[in-house]
Amino acid sequence: DPGFIITDQSIFAASNADPNTLLFSTGRTYFDRGFTGNLSAYYEAPYDVRLGVVARYYDGLVFGRMLFVNGFEQGPFFVRATPRGDFGAFRTQFNSTLDLRVSRGFDIKRSKLSVGVDVFNTLNFNRSTLESDLTSPNFAKRIPLAIQAPRTFRFGLGWEFRRD
């Protein structure tokens, strides 16, 4: 996303030869990795009920292209081919998840029985979590290689024994 005050790069021998070209640039700098956030909360309610929530959010994280190079004696390899400046600032797309947990404990003589349910991806957004970073004609299409798992429920049962 960085912009340049000096747009005529022919003044300098190489691109970004002047260290001051990024001063007062518009937008985020290359090292600003976009936005991320994690929130977790836990609450112990009456009657031994426990509630938990985990929320995650990320958007605009920078990633670079990978260029596949073959035909060398040592075999094929990848080169990180990230353009400079504002041309092709590749960033992740919006993604968020919300996971919930509810559990309750029951005292039974000298033991404790716990019953719980977890709900993963509660909002069921079906967002892309991995995109192909390999340089090809399809790179700009942002074809997802992986997506979020659908809403999932997990039930749990625990039995704790105590010594008195």
What percentage of the chain carries pLDDT values higher than 90?
28
Between 157 and 148, the more confident residue is: 157
Between 68 and 164, the more confident residue is: 68
Average pLDDT, the chain: 77
Residue 35 confidence class, pLDDT cut points 50, 70, 90: confident
| SS3 sequence of the chain | CCCCCCCCHHHCCCCCCCCCCCCCCCCCCCCCCCEEEEEEEEEEECCCEEEEEEEEEEECCECCCEEEECCCCCCCEEEECCCCCCCCCCECCCEEEEEEEEEEEEEECCEEEEEEEEEECCCCCCCEEEECCECCCCHHHCCEEEECCCCEEEEEEEEEECCC
Section 134-148 average pLDDT: 76
Residue 53 confidence class, pLDDT cut points 50, 70, 90: very high
Section 64-82 average pLDDT: 79
Between 92 and 5, the more confident residue is: 92
